[in-house]
Amino acid sequence: MPEARDIEVVVLDVLGTMVDEAGGLGAAIGEAVAESGDASSEASVEHLLAVWHEHVEREQRRIGEGDRSYANSEVIDGEAAERVAERAGLTDPVVIGRLAAASQRLGPWEDSVAGLARLSRRFPVLGLSNATPGALLRLNAHAGLRWHQVLSADDARAYKPAPEVYKLAVEAAGCPPERVLMVAAHAWDLRGAQALGMRTAYVRRPVGDPPRTTDSFDWWAQSLDELVAALTEA
């Protein structure tokens, strides 16, 4: 394991790592179904949330594989909202439009705001997300996340784990990748950063992509608080 003094810049994933993406989207879907008087489906919120996630993951994968031209996260979220609306029997365009922007209104995990503030007193901190710059602006304001800089995969016209996205962070950091630490609750995200030579830290969240037994990350933490302590109190 490297030491904290080996790290110059810390990069954190946003969706799922700093904010509760699944919980926030699930709540938004539940509200949309409850508020719409024309809902006719008995599909559960859990099922509708799975419809949303499956669409986003499939379309991002298709873009990565070259089967679809690039479309930004707001376009794909809008498509996901339409899929959910079809399954739930929602027809009110205002309700569907609000649902499409639900990922801009996600709440932070309980240790995210304070943990980010503590990290930022020791390191330059960057956010790195698949969301668009506009969506990140609204999401960070809503969640109270304060970054030194936040980067969008939209600038690379690709989605993580494409190497072009992590290159944005390394270039912004202005130092070798082995001195840049990527923090995420998704093991696939850390593998993408690792492939570019970045250091990695896995933070467990209630939802996310857990590591495999074959994964070898530099730090493992049960919470952001635990990771921040390891990096700042050494």
Q: What is the mean pLDDT of residues 162-189?
A: 98
| Threshold 0.85, pTM exceeds | yes
Lookup: tokens for 135: 């969506």
Q: How confident is the model at residue 164 (pLDDT cuts 50, 70, 90)?
A: very high
Q: What is the mean pLDDT of residues 194-221?
A: 95
Average per-residue pLDDT for the chain: 95
Neighbouring-strand partners of residue 19: 15, 108
- State yes or no: pLDDT of 163 exceeds 90: yes
Q: What is the mean pLDDT of residues 135-153?
A: 98
For residue 3, what pLDDT is reported? 87
Of residues 3 and 71, more confidently modeled: 71
Q: For the residues of 151-186, what is the DSSP string, one character each?
A: EEGGGGTS-TTSHHHHHHHHHHHTS-GGGEEEEESB
- State yes or no: pLDDT of 224 exceeds 90: yes
For residue 233, what pLDDT is reported? 85
Of residues 3 and 105, more confidently modeled: 105
- State yes or no: pLDDT of 41 exceeds 80: no
For residue 42, what pLDDT is reported? 53
Q: For the residues of the chain, what is the DSSP string, one character each?
A: ---GGG-SEEEEE-BTTTB-HHHHHHHHHHHHHHH-TT------HHHHHHHHHHHHHHHHHHHHTTSS----HHHHHHHHHHHHHHHHT---HHHHHHHHTGGGSPPBPTTHHHHHHHHHTTS-EEEEESS-HHHHHHHHHHHT---SEEEEGGGGTS-TTSHHHHHHHHHHHTS-GGGEEEEESBHHHHHHHHHTT-EEEEE--SSSBPPPTT---SEEESSHHHHHHHHH--
Q: What is the mean pLDDT of residues 45-52?
A: 95
At 51-91, the pLDDT tens digits run: 999 999 999 999 999 999 999 999 999 999 999 999 999 99
- State yes or no: pLDDT of 39 exceeds 70: no
Lookup: tokens for 77: 């979220």
